[in-house]
Amino acid sequence: MRLTKISLAVLLSLSLFSCKKKTDDKSPTYVTTTKKGATTKKGDTTKKGGTTTSSGEVDKAYRKVGNNIYFGYYPQTLETDTAKISSIEELIIPFNGPADATSKGWNKQIDYASNSTREAYYYRDIDLDSDGVNDYRAIHIYKYKNFNTSQSYDATSLWYHDKETFSEGNTYYFKYEEIKWEILEEKDGKAYLYSSLALDAYFYEKSSDEKTDKYSHGGANGYANNYGLSSIRKWLNEDFYNLAFSEKNKAIVNEETVKNGLSSTLDTSNDYTCNDTNDNVYLLSEKELTTYYPTAEGRTCNSSILSDYSKIQDADYYKVLLRSPDKAYAYNVKYIENEYHPGNIVEGYTNYALYAIRPVIVITL
């Protein structure tokens, strides 16, 4: 599916939201920044998005292929090769319950359920070839996730999208792979990038259903749909940012002034907009989405938009999260709906825990 993009006043053709896998029609361009005048060997790539200089130094880099840029690494594809899985499991101590998880190298994934005794996922990273770079992330499902942050654990009321592939009590391994980004726009030596896949799942804010008053969160008092104080903003700029990008990658990721006022929405009035923020990673606003992709058809996605890793996190492709607040309720935010009215922008609870997350970054070219 092809769609139309607006870059400033110019309409360009772009297939950002295409749910079909795009075929790249150009050879990769490897771009590096070297130190002290070192010469690069073009096309000689290493892990974590680097290229090798003549002095042997690995420097920051991205790959540009057609209308895409490959930059940073994130766990994405499920490993299914039994021999590879066996070699991984020889290096780690299997998960054997919550009691001794930490001592065995397993970390507890954030537990957002209102039932404080509930356990959920555990994870660990694996450097398979001992080169200092993680090759796999292991996820052990102790209990399935809840569908919102205020739900107590109840096996009869869980919402899980791929029980046939991922089951409780099992461990799964995901390859760290280059992140593929769609180029939204190139301007002033920068590229505005939007992840081609939903890379993870998360909630907008950990708040109760229908919370209408201001409360203390994110370092200040504000409504649940205040992006500046939101849990998703913190997660993007800390957890995601530090996992996806090496220090050399970070050198070309720009801190951007992200517009969160009324002009970032399609509303004539909205009591829940907030101050602008300075971020390395963010989500599209309602206004940005409709500027780049003006038709509902162009914004429509299906399950192919999900990485395997986002699937185990139970990402819901029906709901691709935006950063804009609803104008009617303090507990609602905007998202792209792909079930009943595909491609439309609708409202949902801030504490829905399974929103599909497609980050935006800006890099220096």
Q: Is the residue at 134 inside a domain?
A: yes
pLDDT, mean over the chain: 84
Q: Is the residue at 136 inside a domain?
A: yes
Q: Is the residue at 133 inside a domain?
A: yes
257-275 residue pLDDT tens: 999 999 999 999 999 999 9
Q: Is the torsion defined by CA of 265, 271, 276, 282 positive or negative?
A: negative
Q: Is the residue at 69 inside a domain?
A: no
Residue 54's pLDDT band (cuts 50, 70, 90): very low
pTM for the complete prediction? Answer: 0.85
Residue 46's pLDDT band (cuts 50, 70, 90): very low
- Give the total number of structural domains in the chain: 1
Q: Specify the pLDDT at position 116.
A: 52
119-162 residue pLDDT tens: 689 999 999 999 999 999 999 999 888 888 877 656 555 667 88
Q: Please state, in angstroms and rounded to a whole number, the distance separating the CA atoms of residues 54 and 302.
A: 44
Q: Is the residue at 135 inside a domain?
A: yes
Q: Is the residue at 182 inside a domain?
A: no
Q: Which residues span the domain enclosing 160?
A: 76-175
- Closest to 153 measured CA to CA, from 171, 168, 172: 168
Q: Is the residue at 27 inside a domain?
A: no
5-18 residue pLDDT tens: 334 333 333 333 43
Residue 339 predicted with pLDDT over 50:
yes
For the segment 44-71, the average pLDDT, to the nearest whole number, is 62
Q: Please state, in angstroms and rounded to a whole number, the distance separating the CA atoms of residues 352 and 224.
A: 12
Task: Please report the DSSP string for 92-159 in residue order.
Answer: SPPP--GGGTGGGT-EEPP---SSTT---EEEEEE-TTSSSS--EEEEEESSPPPSBTTPPP-TTS--
Q: Is the residue at 152 inside a domain?
A: yes
